Amino acid sequence: MSLRDRLAAQIAATGPLTVAQYMTACLHDPKGGYYTTRPAIGEHGDFVTAPMISQMFGELIGVWTAATWAQLGGPKRFRLVEMGPGDGTLMSDILRTARLVEGFLEAADIWLVETSEPLKALQRERLGERVRWAADLSDVPGEAPLILVANELLDCLPARQFVRRATGWAEQMVALNAEGELAFALFPTPAGGLLPDAPVGAVFEQSSAQAALGASLGVRIADDGGAALLVDYGRALPGFGDTLQALRRHEKVDPLACPGEADLTVHADFPSVLGAAQAHGARTAMLTQGAFLARLGVGERAEALVRANPENAAMIGRQLGRLVGADQMGSLFKVACIHSRGWTPPAFEEV
Ligand SMILES: C[S@@+](CC[C@H](N)C(=O)[O-])C[C@H]1O[C@@H](n2cnc3c(N)ncnc32)[C@H](O)[C@@H]1O
């Protein structure tokens, strides 16, 4: 039975699903979830991420990682963690760059936090045996400083959606229509009293999973020291809007059309993630991706690549534009940093 048919049977038997429950099933159902069965990242897959657009992205995150380690005093042992590492390109670029800093690799205890078996196999192929895997951040040992990166992970964490009606807030749920098809429907919710006021028609998204990750990182970093870099598309200030999106072969599709066959995301809610980290004793900072990469020298890196390969100048120019252009990833994507007290991580200094 397809995931769609199983979800329809479940809704008929036990009632509508929250959007968060629907996202979790579509992404992680053991038999039909997107990441469980068919994740396809890259030009020939469903979507492309920054590390795949250009090596410059991962190299500069590698520079940031090594500079952060040095700023922490070059600890002899630290946990280098990537969450949601996809096909392993980002970690491979980080290690190729950061290994140039003496002592970094010897000190790094490298962990990948990943739930997808097919992607773990790709990561193993690319990174070999020097890394270890955990299904959850809590499985990565503590008691050493943490340097963590996650690109496009927050957007896979499920969110509930609420819609403001004239009579108050209602929860948007996945139900069945008269033809037995999956369809969105609004239901009264006791959570309404806790939500902010908004004009009729406004959509409010709430991701407990994103906030919980912010809290775990806050606790961990306040206790062990270090920094986490979260790169994602999303909102920098609290706001409203329906951002649920399904992507299949680089095209937006109806999120209810093919459960488990498309990548399903919502915007990162940075105010909630960073607020949760601060509430647990960590400090936070945020830049746009364009500003972050510029401060780390992406322009100079592009020029060096062009000098080495003049025949690729046009392609490198296009890649740079995609990463930092204000009308491309440069403004919509944000780089948020959660860090321990008493220092400011590289690139986030006041200018
Ligand atoms: C959109 S991909 C991003 C891949 C990679 N970071 C990149 O930039 O190319 C999302 C990644 O997060 C992983 N993932 C999804 N949900 C997760 C969860 N709850 N915990 C850990 N990893 C998760 C996916 O399997 C995949 O590796």
Gap between the Cα atoms of 82 and 282, Å rounded: 19
153 lines ligand 1 (CB under 6 A): yes
Q: Measured in Å, how far apart are the chain's first and last C-alpha atoms?
A: 57
114 lines ligand 1 (CB under 6 A): yes
**Assigned token pair, 76:** 């002899």
Sequence-distant (≥ 6) Cβ neighbours of residue 253 within 8 angstroms: 246, 247, 262
Give how far the C-alpha of residue 194 lies from the chain's centroid of Cα atoms, to the nearest Å: 26
pLDDT at position 296 is 97
**Pairing label, strands 283-288, 245-248:** unpaired
Ligand 1 center–CA 86 separation, angstroms:
5
Residue minimizing CA distance to atom 1 of ligand 1: 152
Sequence-distant (≥ 6) Cβ neighbours of residue 341 within 8 angstroms: 222, 281, 282, 283
| Sign of the four-CA dihedral 233, 296, 93, 131 | negative
Gap between the Cα atoms of 37 and 28, Å rounded: 9
**Assigned token pair, 190:** 């006791």
- Among 228, 223, 293, 218, smallest CA distance to 68 is for 228
32 lines ligand 1 (CB under 6 A): no
CB 17 within 8 A of CB 7: yes
Q: Measured at the alpha carbon of residue 240, what is the angle toward residues 237 and 241, in degrees to the nearest 5?
A: 120
91 lines ligand 1 (CB under 6 A): no
CB 155 within 8 A of CB 265: yes
Q: Tell me the residue length of the chain.
A: 351
CB 162 within 8 A of CB 206: yes
Gap between the Cα atoms of 184 and 44, Å rounded: 31
Gap between the Cα atoms of 138 and 153, Å rounded: 16
pLDDT at position 186 is 97
**Assigned token pair, 96:** 């190729």
264 lines ligand 1 (CB under 6 A): no
Ligand 1 center–CA 118 separation, angstroms:
12
Task: Tell me which of 133, 148, 156 to substitute to probe ligand 1's pocket, judged by most ligand atoms within 8 Å of the beta carbon.
Answer: 156
CA diameter of the chain: 65
Ligand 1 center–CA 349 separation, angstroms:
29
pLDDT at position 86 is 96
- pTM equals 0.96
Gap between the Cα atoms of 295 and 337, Å rounded: 15
- Among 196, 260, 274, smallest CA distance to 232 is for 274
- Among 170, 178, 226, smallest CA distance to 200 is for 170
- Token pair 């068919």 is found at 38
**Region for 123 from its dihedrals, namely left if φ exceeds 0, alpha if ψ lies in -120 to 50, beta otherwise:** alpha
289 lines ligand 1 (CB under 6 A): no
Ligand 1 nearest atom to the CA of residue 47, by list position: 1
Q: What does each of the 351 residues of the chain score in pLDDT, given as a tens digit?
A: 999 999 999 999 999 999 999 999 999 999 999 999 987 888 888 889 999 999 999 999 999 999 999 999 999 999 999 999 999 999 999 999 999 999 999 999 999 999 999 999 999 999 998 899 999 999 999 999 999 999 999 999 999 999 999 999 999 999 999 999 999 999 998 877 788 889 999 999 999 999 999 999 999 999 999 999 999 999 999 999 999 999 999 999 999 999 999 999 999 999 999 999 999 999 999 999 999 999 999 999 999 999 999 999 999 999 999 999 999 999 999 999 999 999 999 999 877
Q: What is the DSSP string of 70-136?
A: HHTT--SSEEEEEES-TTSHHHHHHHHHHTTSTTHHHHEEEEEE---HHHHHHHHHHHGGG-EEESS
123 lines ligand 1 (CB under 6 A): no
Residue minimizing CA distance to atom 14 of ligand 1: 84
Q: What is the DSSP string of 57-68?
A: HHHHHHHHHHHH
Q: What is the DSSP string of 145-180?
A: -EEEEEES-GGGS--EEEEEETTEEEEEEEEE-TTS
